[in-house]
A and B are shown apart, each in its own frame.
Chain A
């Protein structure tokens, strides 16, 4: 059985070749696209489990493709880029990517990131539901309602919220949160949390500028409180 279907989007044919051979060797099914436009075309028919998306492509480019993907699905997206500045990472995460890998990378690193992006904690651990007048979360059906409307969270956003709710009332450190949501190889990427917490707040908080559910613990991490 395949470990999952991966859509590799890159304009460089050699990179697509290496990815295909390697990922297939590790049990993944691989489909390729040369441009963002082609990737969006292939999405509905192929239904991949994960997208590896090059940031710098001719045509619509990685960031725009990522936003377009996010508009229609919550599929995990990993952006691959030769740039390694914090600004570029934040831009990629803001566009909806789950993770960001700098080129060149070793295959072990990429495989670890792919596993982290596809992993979901088992529903048995943690709470089954959370309910307050402003916010309702059903962790088994993965449904979230805020102010009476259904909210769509990406898998990483959902995992983040689940972990915080499971530890409600206690501050969770940056490292602990990163490792719980992304995996044991993570811990030094506070910018990931800044972007994701921001996105979750925008979706569930009545006033994201003055959060009531997810509070920042300066220098430590974040804390979920039931108001």
Chain B
């Protein structure tokens, strides 16, 4: 179960990382950068940052 959990947990992280690398082109990809900081300053992986869905 640990192995299954780790695989299912790790693969999405890789996908999120690739998504951010692909989308890391400015404000559109990082709408929630800290106030006063340029967009994209915080290259954090956070699912849902650029999403408009609830599930």
Chains A and B belong together in one complex:
no
- On A, residues with C-beta under 8 Å from B are none
- On B, residues with C-beta under 8 Å from A are none
